[in-house]
């Protein structure tokens, strides 16, 4: 009959697909040795056995190893079919955190903030020079010297408050990443204004994820997902299909979207991560260096997909400050980057 697979055909097909063909031969003999049983019953027996073999031969989903640690002030999760991935990624992220966290007194950034001048490692040099380039690319909207503003608005110590106009004016005097001086001859970085303080919160996680991905690749690991508090990199594919990343709805309304990714980074900046509300007004942790106030660009959330974590992390924060029109123009200057912008604000 047309369309019906004869049990023998099925067995032949399976025989080509997997090395169990030999195993099936004795069964064929068994079937031949069952002349007393009706043909339908013998066929049924064959189909059942063949299906069992077929299911056994299907490519197996690899076992995924999922590990989570609290690092860089957030949850870092590593998922991979390779059990070594978690340890390798955590070690690398820990190394970057120990260099760049302003909260770790021995880190290079904490020392630089304290002393105003420091000989730094190649990694710190790299991210600081990149951050100065980002300042120019955004006309100062992206500024890693927002440290004094983060302090007076209480975001550094999680003691949120509205500072006085005088405090804001004073803090703004110490801001301007264009004033960071790089002494190439001896790898010394100098903060060009008294009271200047660096805060790499906008890019440290994206950069740390990039370093972790590099370490995974060096170890021969070709499939992993690293999520550092929403800064995500998808290395290779999950098994046979791309990694699927869900994007959170900024106000928790409706369903979140999802996106399939391979060898790409995704970063989100939103006004729902760290914020406080006073008098019905929301004050979030991303500053507009031009005003000294939390950004009021009208953007609620920005999601950027890019080839690397540093670019995605930088762009998402920068666009949050720049707003939709300037933000879309900025993204065009970064090949491979895509952005989704949500806004304007709805009343809280």
- Give me the residues that bind ligand ADP (CB under 6 A), please: 142-144, 146, 150, 199, 201-202, 229-230, 269, 273, 285-287, 289, 313, 316-317, 321
Cα distance between residue 85 and residue 66, in whole Å:
9
Neighbours of 188 (CB within 10 A): 15
Q: How far is the CB of 310 from ligand ADP (least distance, A)?
A: 11
Question: Which letter, b or e, does each residue of 63-92 get, where b requires 16 or more Cβ atoms within 10 Å of its Cβ?
Answer: ebeeeebebbeeebbbbbbbeebbebbbeb
Binding partner of residue 124 among ligand ADP, Mg ion, none, CB under 5 to 8 Å per kind?
Answer: none
In SS3 terms, 22-43 reads as HHHHHHHHHHHCCCCCCHHHHH
Binding partner of residue 339 among ligand ADP, Mg ion, none, CB under 5 to 8 Å per kind?
Answer: none
Q: How far is the CB of 203 from Mg ion (least distance, A)?
A: 6
Q: How far is the CB of 238 from Mg ion (least distance, A)?
A: 25
Question: Given candidates 317, 319, 337, 342, which one binds Mg ion under the rule CB under 5 A?
Answer: 317
Cα distance between residue 38 and residue 30, in whole Å:
14
Size of the site for Mg ion (CB under 5 A): 4
Of 243 and 320, which has the nearer Cβ to ligand ADP?
A: 320
Of 86 and 270, which has the nearer Cβ to Mg ion?
A: 270
Whether residue 344 is preceded by a cis peptide bond, meaning omega within 30 degrees of 0, is yes
Report the run of H or E that residue 270 belongs to, with start and end.
strand 264-270
- Which pair of tokens denotes residue 239? 């098994």
Binding partner of residue 309 among Mg ion, ligand ADP, none, CB under 5 to 8 Å per kind?
Answer: none
Residue 209 binds to Mg ion (criterion: CB under 5 A):
no
Of 114 and 217, which has the nearer Cβ to ligand ADP?
A: 114
Biggest CA-to-CA distance, the chain:
101
Alpha helices in the chain (DSSP H): 7-17, 21-32, 39-57, 85-100, 108-115, 122-137, 147-152, 165-172, 204-218, 309-322, 324-331
Q: How far is the CB of 3 from ligand ADP (least distance, A)?
A: 55
By the 8 A CB rule, do 98 and 107 touch? yes
Q: How far is the CB of 167 from ligand ADP (least distance, A)?
A: 17
The number of residues in the chain equals: 348
Residue closest to ligand ADP, measured at CB: 201
Binding partner of residue 286 among Mg ion, ligand ADP, none, CB under 5 to 8 Å per kind?
Answer: ligand ADP
Question: Given candidates 313, 319, 323, 341, which one binds Mg ion under the rule CB under 5 A?
Answer: 313
Cα distance between residue 169 and residue 157, in whole Å:
20
- Which pair of tokens denotes residue 99? 């260099």
Compute CA distances 17 → 3, 55, 57, 62, whole Å: 21, 12, 8, 19
Q: How far is the CB of 73 from ligand ADP (least distance, A)?
A: 8
Of 31 and 317, which has the nearer Cβ to Mg ion?
A: 317
Cα distance between residue 232 and residue 234, in whole Å:
7
Stretch that binds Mg ion, among 44-52, 140-148, 294-302, 306-314 (CB under 5 A): 306-314
Binding partner of residue 221 among Mg ion, ligand ADP, none, CB under 5 to 8 Å per kind?
Answer: none
Of 300 and 321, which has the nearer Cβ to ligand ADP?
A: 321
Stretch that binds Mg ion, among 11-19, 29-37, 315-323, 340-348 (CB under 5 A): 315-323
Binding partner of residue 199 among ligand ADP, Mg ion, none, CB under 5 to 8 Å per kind?
Answer: ligand ADP
Of 236 and 294, which has the nearer Cβ to Mg ion?
A: 294
Residue numbers of the site for Mg ion (CB under 5 A)? 202, 313, 316-317
């Amino acid at each position: 009959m047309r369309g019906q697979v004869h049990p023998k055909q099925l067995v032949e097909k399976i025989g080509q697909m997997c090395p169990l063909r030999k195993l099936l031969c004795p069964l064929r003999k068994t079937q031949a040795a069952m002349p007393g049983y009706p043909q339908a019953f013998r066929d049924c027996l064959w189909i059942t056995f063949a299906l069992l073999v077929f299911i056994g031969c299907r490519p197996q989903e690899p076992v995924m190893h999922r590990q989570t640690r609290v690092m860089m002030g957030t949850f870092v999760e590593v998922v991979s079919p390779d059990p070594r991935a978690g340890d390798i990624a955590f070690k690398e992220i820990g190394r970057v955190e120990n260099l760049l966290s302003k909260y770790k007194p021995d880190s290079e950034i904490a020392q630089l903030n304290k002393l105003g001048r420091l000989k730094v490692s190649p990694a710190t040099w790299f991210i600081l020079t990149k951050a100065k380039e980002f300042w120019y690319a955004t006309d100062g909207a992206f500024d890693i010297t927002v440290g004094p503003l983060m302090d007076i608005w209480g975001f550094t110590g999680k003691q949120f408050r509205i500072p006085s106009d005088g405090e804001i004016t004073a803090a703004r005097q110490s801001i301007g990443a264009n004033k960071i001086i790089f002494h190439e001859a001896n790898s010394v970085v100098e903060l060009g204004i008294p009271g200047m303080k660096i805060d790499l919160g906008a890019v440290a996680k994206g950069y740390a994820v990039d370093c972790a991905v590099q370490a995974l690749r060096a170890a021969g690991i070709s499939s992993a997902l690293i999520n550092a508090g929403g800064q995500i990199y998808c290395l290779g594919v999950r098994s046979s299909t791309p990694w699927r990343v869900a994007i959170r709805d900024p106000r928790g309304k409706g369903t979140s979207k999802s996106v399939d990714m391979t060898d790409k980074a995704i970063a989100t900046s939103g006004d729902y991560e760290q914020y406080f509300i006073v008098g019905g007004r929301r004050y979030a942790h991303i500053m507009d260096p031009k005003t000294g106030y939390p950004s009021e660009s009208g953007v609620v959330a920005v999601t950027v997909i890019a080839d690397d974590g540093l670019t995605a992390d930088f762009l998402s924060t920068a666009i949050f400050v720049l707003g939709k029109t300037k933000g879309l123009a900025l993204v065009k200057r970064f090949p491979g980057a895509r952005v989704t912008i949500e806004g304007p604000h709805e009343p809280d």
